[in-house]
């Protein structure tokens, strides 16, 4: 029995990056031997174990064979005869197919992974790359994580062929969302989207976004990278991702359709829907602070966002809207107005107003609306320069 550190842990160490998790492959062992050594089985589809003290994952060396479409259509074979090189050969990229001897630290690199790390190239290991369509999404995510890497021409050709054959269509929504959401949270999320487009994969995954890309895609990419620089939450980044779909009732329905198709979590979906509905009204109201109806328009938009009851969610909506404003001065002004609004949103005594109105719903609504309008008007008034 011999174990090796494999995959991302070796890659990241060689790149001088912090290693978060370490995966291991074990050669020459049986399931019974692993159990006898105290390892806890956790693998459902193939033999994977947790180390008895470190709780890191140890998988028996295995090979795999494609038997059905999609990323789940594989049969795995694991026994003591499977070599380390055979296990590494089934991996996606050469930079992820490097192993490190746990005892000696010696690197085993049968596919030139270190060479491609030095050249900053994503290159597939072998012809089996095309058997797993999720690899198209993974490489797009890696492009967002490692913005100084490029995709080898031959690998890009295979990615495009996989998309055009419809292999990506077999991916379950949860798996697609997992990769997209992780890519959105990387350092340069725009590169994930560009990579998916170049591989003809975005049109298969989000055809609505592909259709709108030529007219509205570039501003979205810039806004998305600004959000990444600001360390924005996933809710903000996903809302920006779908901004090319537009603003208004039709856009909101499109955002809802995409979100449900990708199995997007409810909280993330709600923020994206609110942004698609309220972006233009919010921006217009704040751009026209001196208009007679500015505070009323802003109150209406805030109420549709449920900002008075859920200010924390409105913060996410406002942050996404702000990042889509291209002019830095206008963006700063929007942020300042929103910052001051947030300070008053929670100060309106809704309970006290309800009691004083005798819990009469129509009267409560009128008085609460008046209080909200007054609060918003007081904020807007601080931005008006006396004539």
DSSP notation for 274-305: HHHHHHHHHHHHHHTTTSTTHHHHHHHHHHHT
Q: Domain for residue 238, yes or no?
A: no
Residues 183 and 92 in one domain: no
Q: Are residues 112 and 21 in the same domain?
A: yes
Final residue in a domain of this structure, among 86, 118, 150? 118
Determine how many CB atoms are found less than 10 A away from the CB of residue 195.
24
Residue that wins the pLDDT comparison between 44 and 171: 171
DSSP 8-state code for residue 124: B
Alpha carbon distances (Å) from 45 to 12, 74, 78, 351 = 27, 10, 11, 55
Under the banding of pLDDT at 50, 70 and 90, the label for residue 1 is confident
Range of the domain at 61: 1-118
Q: Please say which residue of 205, 236, 263 terminates a domain.
A: 205
Q: Do residues 102 and 6 share a domain? A: yes
Helix (H, G, I), strand (E, B) or coil at 190: helix
- Both 27 and 110 in a single domain? yes
Does 101 fall in a domain?
yes
Collapse the DSSP code of 318 into the 3-class scheme (helix H, G, I; strand E, B; otherwise coil) and give the result.
Answer: helix
Residues 78 and 38 in one domain: yes
Closest by CA position to 282, among listed 305, 255, 250, 311: 305
The answer to the question of residue 12 being in a domain is: yes
Structure tokens at 259: 């979100």
Strand partners, 66: 74
- 16 and 85 share one domain: yes
Q: Write the CATH number for 154.
A: 1.10.110.30
Q: Is 56 exposed, middle or buried (0-12, 13-18, 19+ CB in 10 A)?
A: middle
Least confident of 17-21, 204-208, 286-290: 286-290
Q: Are residues 163 and 98 in the same domain?
A: no
Residue 180 inside a domain? The answer is yes
Residues 23 and 96 in one domain: yes
Q: Of 90, 108, 85, 91, which Cα lies nearest the Cα of 10?
A: 108
Structural domain contains residue 305: no
Examine the domain organization and report whether 112 and 138 are in the same domain.
no
Give me the residues paired with residue 60 across strands.
Answer: 26
The whole-number average pLDDT for the span 242-250 is: 96
Residue at which a domain ends, from 118, 144, 171? 118
If one counts the domains in the chain, the total is 2
Asked if residue 300 has pLDDT above 80, the reply is: yes
Q: Same domain, yes or no, for 182 and 95?
A: no
Q: What are phi and psi of 125, to 5 degrees?
A: -75, -45
77-116: buried (b, 16+ CB within 10 Å) or exposed (e) per residue? ebeeebebeebbbbbbbbbbbbbbeeeeeeebbbbbbbeb
User: Domain for residue 293, yes or no?
Assistant: no
Q: Of all helices (H) and strands (E), which one includes residue 60?
A: strand 57-60
User: What is the domain-level CATH number for residue 23?
Assistant: 3.30.460.10
Assess whether 194 and 139 both reside in one domain. yes
Where residue 258 falls among pLDDT bands split at 50, 70, 90?
Answer: very high
**Residue pair 375/348 in contact by the 8 Å Cβ criterion:** yes
Dihedral sign from CA coordinates of 325, 331, 334, 339:
positive
81 falls within a domain:
yes
Average pLDDT, integer, range 39-45:
84
Specify the pairing of strand 48-50 against strand 57-60.
antiparallel
The encoded tokens of residue 189 equal 């999320």
Burial of 357 (0-12, 13-18, 19+ CB in 10 A): middle
Write out pLDDT tens, residues 83-125: 999 999 999 999 999 999 999 999 999 999 999 999 999 999 9
Tokens of 100: 């490190």
DSSP 96: G
Is 36 contained in some domain? yes
Cβ proximity of 259 and 268 under 8 Å: yes
Do 150 and 87 belong together in one domain? no
């Amino acid at each position: 029995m011999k174990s090796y550190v494999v995959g991302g842990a070796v890659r990241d160490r060689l790149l001088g990056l912090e290693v978060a998790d370490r995966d291991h492959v074990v050669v020459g062992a049986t399931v019974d031997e692993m159990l006898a050594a105290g390892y806890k089985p956790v693998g459902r589809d193939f033999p994977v174990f947790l180390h008895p003290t470190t709780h890191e994952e140890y998988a028996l060396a295995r090979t795999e064979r494609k038997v059905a479409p999609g990323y789940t259509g594989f049969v795995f074979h694991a026994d003591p005869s499977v070599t380390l090189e055979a296990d590494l050969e089934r991996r996606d990229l050469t930079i992820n197919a490097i192993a490190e001897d746990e005892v000696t630290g010696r690197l085993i690199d049968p596919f030139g992974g270190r060479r491609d790390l030095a050249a900053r190239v994503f290159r597939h290991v072998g012809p089996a790359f095309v058997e797993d369509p999720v690899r198209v999404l993974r490489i797009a995510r890696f492009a967002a994580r490692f913005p100084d890497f490029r995709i080898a021409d031959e690998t890009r050709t295979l990615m495009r062929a996989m998309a055009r054959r419809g292999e990506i269509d077999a991916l379950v929504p949860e798996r697609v969302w997992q990769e997209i959401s992780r890519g959105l949270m990387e350092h340069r999320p725009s590169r994930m989207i560009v990579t998916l487009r170049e591989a003809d994969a975005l049109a298969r995954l989000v055809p609505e976004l592909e259709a709108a890309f030529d007219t509205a895609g570039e501003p979205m990419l810039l806004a998305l990278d600004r959000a990444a620089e600001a360390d924005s939450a996933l809710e903000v980044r996903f809302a920006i991702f779908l901004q090319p779909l537009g603003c208004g009732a039709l856009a909101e329905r499109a955002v809802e359709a995409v979100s449900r198709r990708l199995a997007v979590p409810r909280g993330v979906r709600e923020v994206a829907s609110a942004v698609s509905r309220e972006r233009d009204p919010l921006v217009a109201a704040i751009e026209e602070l001196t208009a007679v109806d500015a505070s009323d328009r802003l109150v209406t938009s805030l109420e549709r966002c449920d900002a008075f009851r859920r200010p924390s969610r409105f913060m996410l909506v406002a942050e996404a809207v702000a990042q889509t404003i291209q002019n830095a001065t206008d963006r700063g002004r929007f942020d300042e107005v929103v910052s001051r609004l947030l300070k008053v949103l929670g100060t309106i005594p809704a309970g006290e107003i309800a009691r004083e109105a005798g819990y009469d719903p129509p009267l409560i609504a009128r008085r609460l609306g008046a209080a909200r309008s007054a609060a918003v008007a007081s904020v807007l008034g601080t931005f008006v320069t006396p004539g």
